[in-house]
Amino acid sequence: MGDIDTLILDGRGLTRAQLVAAAHARVRIALDPEALARVRRAADFLADRAGRGEPIYGVTTGFGSNADRLLGAHRARDELPGGNPEQREGTLLEELQHNLVITHAVCVGEPFAPEVVRAMLAIRINTLLRGHSGIRAETVEALAAMFNAGIVPVVPRKGSVGASGDLAPLSHLAIVLLGGGEAFLDGVRMPGAEALARRGLAPVRLSHKEGLALNNGTAQMLACGVLAVDRLESLVALADLAAAMSLDAFAGRSGAFKAEVHALRPHPGQVDTARRLRELLDGSTLIDIPYHLVPRFKPWLAQAWDDPADQGHRFDIAWDWVPPGQRHGREAFYTRFLPFKGGKKHQPQDAYSLRCIPQVHGAVRDALAQAARVLEIELNAVTDNPLVFPDAPDARAIEDQVVSAGHFHGMPLALAMSYVKAAIPVLASISERRLNKLVDPATNDGLPPFLIGNEDATDSGFMIVQYTAAALVNDLASRAHPASVYSVPTSANAEDHVSMGANEARHVLEMCDDLSDVLALELYTAAQALEYRQDMLNAARAVARRGRVDLIASKIAGAPSPGHPDHPQFLREVEALCAALADSEGFHAGTAVREALAEVRQVAPFMQRDRAMDGEVRAVCGLVRGWLGTRG
């Protein structure tokens, strides 16, 4: 595994960041000596009590609906015809634990990714180190050795109901420890026994309660939940970046992001999102631009530009002049702004998908924060059953020291994940709405329809990019129904209410890819829109700086003819427009947005005319996935 850091597990201090590092094989695991002493104390206590023949659930009794059956001193079935006691190894108590694992490894579907399985292993080791599970220290050490050897058990994705914990998937994890099942080693799938042998490890024979300690817990749902929230924390940051690029492309308004505004409704995620938007837009000369400076797109024609300096433009530009007779009641507005209508509507607020970014992205952040709080508690919790308290004070009966409880029930995780699950299509939906506004000429504030020149009416531009985003949003919304609201009883109704938290967390993890792709499509589209906006404004500025008042005037519709009483005023106002453009700083996006634009352009150049986009879509989606964890 190379020269990597060591993660010392003690059952009490595992963090989400450490688990993510373990999941991605960036650490090796070591076990805290004091924690191992706790493990030995509980295992010795349990062995002593089991030797006295006392009824202990899952140790000297059966499981689930067999909990009322005490194990006998010998196997009754050996007395049946065909019985052969010589073929049986170990005691009934050991057989009980062995059978629990091998009969519960019945999941179906494609295997989990290695990072999920490694996270499950690390979680299970950590919780066993609390010393309340009755497992032997050497069995925990064997789990750590399997992790450090790079052995990744094959764990099919489907089969847990989230109570009693993740029984079936954790059995797939444990069966390899026994020399059964299958595992990946160096990326190759093989029998579990072969994987152990290749690394010089011996199979483990289970003792009192060890099967139950290994497969009764919430490790699958917790692993999926932690990895999902880790990805989503990066994705919500990327959503801010995509939104900022769209805002710059719209030449949007910043008032909705002011700190004093959000102090009046201080939801933490909302306040944080507004702050991030201010940072991402810092340095922009497009945000809050005066309305009259922004031209609208006009289809390019060969005669649109008469100066060789302008021949490279892929567009024409235009404004409308507002004559004096149409300014009545708007005198205050036209005192601040020149009477030209171009690409930016004369309204002081943007659409909800722009103006309400802090409220929507912020609410998603708050959902993630709630999930993170639950996950962080669970990371260092004991989640099997029964719980062993060898040092319980004033214990008068075995029930005071081996307590049957319900920590395996995944509902705390399930409900936290259902909250996150609902948030994912919300974040995707507002991104798609911004994308849709960018391609729609009725809403994109003067940009070309579908962000393409389309001089010959043959180009579709970015039209179908929005279709793909819409399909992904619909798919995410269809999958957002909470699994946790639908319990299906199991184990002959002994387990009559289950959490379905494993499905919930798995769904959330799987939905991250589609959300990432929606955000990538917004960035892909916003990059095209932003370049159009910058180039159109800078083209107007360049003409004005050359003193070409006549050329600017030729691009203004509604001009009075020479000799008309309004013509002198029109010329004065065109000269004022030219002066304002000439005096402006060069038009560009915020610093962070410009950096992101440059990276997008490395894999997807500006599109002047239709071309194949499939490779670019894949490249931008891949670029965004590569950004995860790097843009917080």
The phi and psi torsions of 335 (rounded to 5 degrees) equal -75, -35
Residues facing residue 28 across a β-bridge:
6
- How large is the greatest C-alpha to C-alpha distance in the chain, in angstroms? 119
For residues 368 and 274, the answer to whether their CB atoms sit within 8 Å is no
- Candidate list 57, 291, 419, 532, residue with the active-site label: 57
Strands 556-557 and 316-321: parallel
Contact 221, 159 (CB under 8 A): no
Contacts of 132 (CB under 8 A, 6+ apart): 42, 382, 387, 388, 389
**342 CA to centre of own chain:** 39
Strand partners, 421: none
Angle between helices 167-177 and 137-148 (to 10 degrees): 90
Give CA–CA dist 406/214, Å, rounded.
Answer: 16
3-class secondary-structure state, position 230: helix
CA dihedral of 32, 38, 43, 45, whole degrees rounded to 10:
170
Closest CA to 536 of 288, 323, 249: 249
**Distances from the Cα of 190 to the Cα of 145, 186, 203, 220, angstroms:** 18, 10, 15, 22
Helix (H) or strand (E) holding 147: helix 137-148
Reference 604, options 490, 546, 551, 525; nearest CA is 525
Q: Give CA–CA dist 216/170, Å, rounded.
A: 7
Q: How far is CA 416 from the centre of its chain?
A: 14
Task: Look up 352 and say whether it is catalytic.
Answer: no
Q: Catalytic residues, which ones?
A: 57
